[in-house]
């Protein structure tokens, strides 16, 4: 764009004119780090033409993303002095274990978000992230015998392309079934649950999470695998 600064350019990947959630982390990175990454990316792309080896591209992108999302300790907003500790009362192989993710998975045709967001496409949802960030989270039940093709994803907080191709990237239903079959866990609880992680974090922590914990405890969960996105 005419007169666009480099900072405006990289920021545009985060819900801007060039929105691409695979690269929204560029907005978090220091400007110098973004410059180095893009320069290195172009250089490595030139190498790939000759070698066909994409591994370096994956590695450098992963490292740059990790650095962008890892601010100094003193700048971390969501920091807790301690964590709850609940020792297992019996072997995991004898326990009923549930699955809870913030990936935004849901059963097609079933309610999966607040009514005001229900008709949004993924692209449309990306234009309303501020509203999602203030909204009450919605917990969607996902039957564990649901086939991949009947599982939808609605989450404007991350790029959902990989999740649509393989649910196990962020909703590891099949891996949990494997753990049950191999005797690692006693029973895989059904349904699993998912919600849109782009939501009011204070409300989630103070109101909804405790209510959800009571709900799954009543369903017989004795332990849980939590997958944040």
Read off the pLDDT of residues 12-43 as tens digits, 9 standing for 90 and up.
888 888 888 888 889 989 899 999 999 999 99
As to burial, measured by CB atoms within 10 angstroms (0-12 exposed, 13-18 middle, 19+ buried), residue 96 is middle
Residue 29 per-residue DSSP state: S
Answer yes or no: are the C-beta atoms of 212 and 193 closer than 8 Å.
Answer: yes
Which are the contacts of 229, defined by CB distance < 8 A and separation ≥ 6? 101, 102, 103, 104, 155, 157, 158, 170, 197
Query: Model confidence at 113, in pLDDT bands (50, 70, 90)?
Result: confident
Answer yes or no: are the C-beta atoms of 111 and 139 closer than 8 Å.
Answer: no
pLDDT of residue 74: 57
Answer yes or no: are the C-beta atoms of 102 and 168 closer than 8 Å.
Answer: no
Average pLDDT over every residue of 143-166:
91
Query: Model confidence at 185, in pLDDT bands (50, 70, 90)?
Result: very high
Coil/strand/helix, residue 158: coil
Highest mean pLDDT among 115-124, 128-137, 143-152: 143-152
* pLDDT above 70: residue 78: no
Instruction: Report the chain's mean pLDDT, rounded to a whole number.
Output: 89
C-alpha 209/C-alpha 202 separation (Å) is 10
* pLDDT above 70: residue 76: no
**Partners of 151 in the β-ladder:** 107
Average pLDDT over every residue of 201-222:
93
Residue 127 per-residue DSSP state: G
Buried-exposed string 28-53: b where 16+ CB fall within 10 A, e elsewhere: bbeeeebeebbeeeeebeeeeeeeee
pLDDT of residue 103: 94
């Amino acid at each position: 764009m005419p007169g666009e600064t480099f900072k405006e350019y990289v920021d545009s990947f985060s819900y801007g004119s060039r929105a691409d959630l695979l690269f929204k982390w560029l907005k978090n990175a220091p400007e110098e780090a973004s410059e180095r990454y893009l320069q290195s990316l172009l250089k490595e792309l030139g190498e790939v033409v000759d070698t066909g080896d994409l591994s370096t591209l994956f590695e450098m992108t992963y490292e740059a993303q990790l650095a962008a999302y890892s601010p100094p300790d003193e700048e971390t907003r969501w920091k807790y002095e301690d964590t709850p500790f609940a020792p297992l009362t019996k072997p995991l192989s004898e326990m009923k274990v549930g699955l809870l993710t913030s990936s935004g998975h849901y059963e097609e045709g079933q309610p999966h978000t607040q009514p005001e967001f229900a008709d949004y496409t993924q692209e449309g949802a990306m234009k309303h992230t501020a509203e999602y960030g203030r909204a009450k989270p919605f917990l969607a039940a996902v039957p564990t015998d649901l086939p991949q093709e009947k599982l939808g994803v609605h989450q404007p907080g991350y790029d959902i392309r990989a999740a649509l191709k393989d649910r196990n990237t962020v909703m590891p239903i099949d891996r949990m079934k494997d753990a049950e079959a191999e005797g690692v866990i006693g029973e895989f609880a059904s349904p699993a649950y998912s919600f849109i992680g782009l939501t009011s974090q204070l409300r989630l922590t103070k109101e909804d999470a405790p209510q959800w914990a009571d709900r799954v405890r009543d369903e017989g969960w004795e332990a849980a695998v939590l997958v944040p996105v």
